[in-house]
Structure 1
Amino acid sequence: MKKVLIIGVMMSGFAFGQVKNDTIEKVYKLETASYKSEKKEKPLPLSRKGQMFAFFGWNRGAFSNSDIHFTGNGYDFQLNNVSAKDRPTKFGIVYFDPSWFTVTQYNFRIGYFIKDNLALVLGIDHMKYVMNQDQTVGFSGNISDPTYAAMVQNGQVNLADEKFLTFEHTDGLNYENLGLEKYRNLIHKKNIDLVWSYGAGIGVMFPKSNVRLFGNERSDRFHVAGMATDLRSSLNLVFWKNWMIRAEAKAGYINMWDIKTTLNNKPDKARQDFVFGEVLAGIGYTFNTKKYN
């Protein structure tokens, strides 16, 4: 009887130990599989430190009226409340031909996430600013040349015939800026994410101003003319984890105090400041600079 009891205890102990070992092994395998699955899962787009994106698109702009002050040899005057608009290129192959892309009103961005959901964004906004030619504006100041002084009547000057002034930043009104943007994921599906961002930027104005004043040779050269700042917000539709369609709106302030008005190195210059608005859209690509698996 004792032998039977001893054998029964040994068998039960063996069976219990086997069950316990099987259970531990199963739990270990489940935890390992869960860990591997979690480790291999890619982070949400536009959400993690180390992620980057690049973007190229096109814009439309609008500008407030501004006062433009001109100084040079024999003149010092201001044109008041001058209106202007942008000049979008007619839609066509020029929008997609790399050799012609600078002709359009384009935007370029490259962003790097310095923290989760917080990106440092370097951008170029190539806008175009064209003074409306068919307008009469207020005038204050003096002009020594009697021909152009005579064009001022009752404190106003008519710009329609282009003899007094043509004034553009069309190659263009270039805002080279650095921004800080916060990102928030709104929708997360298998192959589609919708991400909202908002932020602010600051940068330099590097226009190629096309100015012809008093019939002089037209000024047409790139030059650091001032600074600007902006507030911006965007919606980013990310599909297949990497490709991105971006739509952005921004508003800002531009102050240019050193606009070249003659082609040579004369001290002639103009200054102006105004508020601008801009909407843009285009396509981009997101990628990780860190391995998450």
Structure 2
Amino acid sequence: MKKLLVVSLVISNFVFAQKTKNDSLQSDLLTVTPAPIKKKEKPMPLSKKGQMFVFFGWNRAAFSNSDINFSGNGYNFQLNNVSAQDRPTKFGIVYVNPGWFTVVQYNFRAGYFIKDNLALVLGIDHMKYVMDQNQTVGFKGHISDPEYAAMVQNGQVNLADEKFLTFEHTDGLNYENLGLEKYQNLIHKKNIDLVWSYGAGLGVMFPKSNVRLFGNERSDRFHVAGMGTDIRSSLNLVFWKNWMIRLEGKAGYINMWDIKTTLNNKPDKARQDFVFGQVLAGVGYTFNTKKYN
């Protein structure tokens, strides 16, 4: 009887242990943590280190009045408070034909983010500056040629007939600059980013000035004439991951102290300084802006 009782206890303990083991295994299976679901990748906003963009657009510009000094053999004088305008090309195929892109007032930008939210931007601003022909301006100085000296009346000269002077930077008023721009993301959605930027730039003036003074042959050549500086701000709409529309405004100062007024190597030159304002818009493409986790 005792042996039977011992055998029964052993069998009972074995069955209980097996049941406990199975229950524990089932409990472990029920509490297994599911594998994390991988986040869907989204486009990065235009503001991260290593990103780049290129941009091409068109501008309108305005210029303050300026005093223009002319000097050379037999003359040294200044025209006071001279007004000028830009010269936008009539809208048409010229704006989209790559072979004619320098005809219009255009802008080019290439930017690289040297750190988050800070980009180094190379820019070319091709503006056009045309002196208003129908104006009478103040005159100060001397002219040895009696024909042109006689055109000065009561300290003023009338420029309307173009005999005394025509003066343009129309091929153009080229401001080639390097700037630093700070970027801030305003809207970040699945297919659209809106990014605001502000900054400043410094560069050289490389105009092709069209000048005809005293009936001489017109000067028309590229030349480094001075320097410029600016402050700027822009809104950048990035869509379809990489495409960009940019709207930019800027204001700046230009000082050109070596404007060529003749085609030869005579010391003839002009100098002027003025303030400018510019608005521009166009399209661009971004690089390294595709994905983040």
TM-score, normalised with respect to structure 2:
0.92
Greater displacement, 235-244 / 206-215: 235-244
Superposed counterparts of 1:88-127, under 5 Å: 88-127=88-127
**SS of corresponding position for 2:89:** coil
Q: 1:112 to 1:22 in 2, by over 3 A?
A: farther
Q: 1:42 to 1:190 in 2, by over 3 A?
A: closer
Q: Partner residue of 1:16?
A: 24
Q: Partner residue of 1:168?
A: 168
State how far apart, in whole Å, the 2-side matches of 1:52 and 1:134 are.
46
State how far apart, in whole Å, the 1-side matches of 2:199 and 2:159 are.
39
Q: 1:23 to 1:280 in 2, by over 3 A?
A: same
State how far apart, in whole Å, the 1-side matches of 2:121 and 2:29 are.
55
Superposed counterparts of 1:241-252, under 5 Å: 241-252=241-252
Q: 1:24 to 1:43 in 2, by over 3 A?
A: farther
Q: Partner residue of 2:200?
A: 200
State how far apart, in whole Å, the 2-side matches of 1:189 and 1:100 are.
37
Q: Partner residue of 2:254?
A: 254
Counterpart of 1:124 in structure 2: which amino acid?
I
State how far apart, in whole Å, the 2-side matches of 1:275 and 1:19 are.
79
Superposed counterparts of 1:110-259, under 5 Å: 110-259=110-259
Q: 1:121 to 1:19 in 2, by over 3 A?
A: farther
State how far apart, in whole Å, the 1-side matches of 2:16 and 2:108 are.
79
Q: 1:205 to 1:19 in 2, by over 3 A?
A: farther
CA RMSD of aligned residues (A): 1.8
Q: Structure 2 unaligned segments of length 5 or more: list them.
A: 1-8
**SS of corresponding position for 2:101:** helix
Whether the aligned pair in 2 keeps the contact of 1:50 and 1:290 (CA below 8 Å) is no
Cα deviation code 1:247-283 (max 9, x no counterpart): 1100000000100000111111011000000000011
- 1:184: how far off? 1.1
Counterpart of 1:252 in structure 2: which amino acid?
G
Counterpart of 1:150 in structure 2: which amino acid?
A
**SS of corresponding position for 1:201:** strand
State how far apart, in whole Å, the 1-side matches of 2:182 and 2:51 are.
13
Whether the aligned pair in 2 keeps the contact of 1:242 and 1:285 (CA below 8 Å) is yes
- 1:5: how far off? 3.6
Cα deviation code 1:95-145 (max 9, x no counterpart): 011100100000011111111111111010000000000000011011111
State how far apart, in whole Å, the 2-side matches of 1:104 and 1:227 are.
22
Q: Structure 1 unaligned segments of length 5 or more: list them.
A: none
State how far apart, in whole Å, the 2-side matches of 1:220 and 1:156 are.
27
Greater displacement, 17-26 / 167-176: 17-26
TM-score, normalised with respect to structure 1:
0.92
Counterpart of 1:114 in structure 2: which amino acid?
I
Q: 1:240 to 1:188 in 2, by over 3 A?
A: same
**SS of corresponding position for 1:182:** strand
- 1:189: how far off? 1.8
- 1:12: how far off? 3.0
Identical columns (%): 79
Q: 1:5 to 1:207 in 2, by over 3 A?
A: same
Counterpart of 1:74 in structure 2: which amino acid?
G
Q: Partner residue of 1:43?
A: 44
Counterpart of 2:260 in structure 1: which amino acid?
K
State how far apart, in whole Å, the 1-side matches of 2:11 and 2:277 are.
95
Task: Kindly name which structure, 1 or 2, has the bigger radius of gyration based on alpha carbons.
Answer: 2
**SS of corresponding position for 2:55:** strand
Number of residue-to-residue matches in the alignment? 285
Whether the aligned pair in 2 keeps the contact of 1:112 and 1:119 (CA below 8 Å) is yes
Q: Partner residue of 1:85?
A: 85
**SS of corresponding position for 1:16:** helix
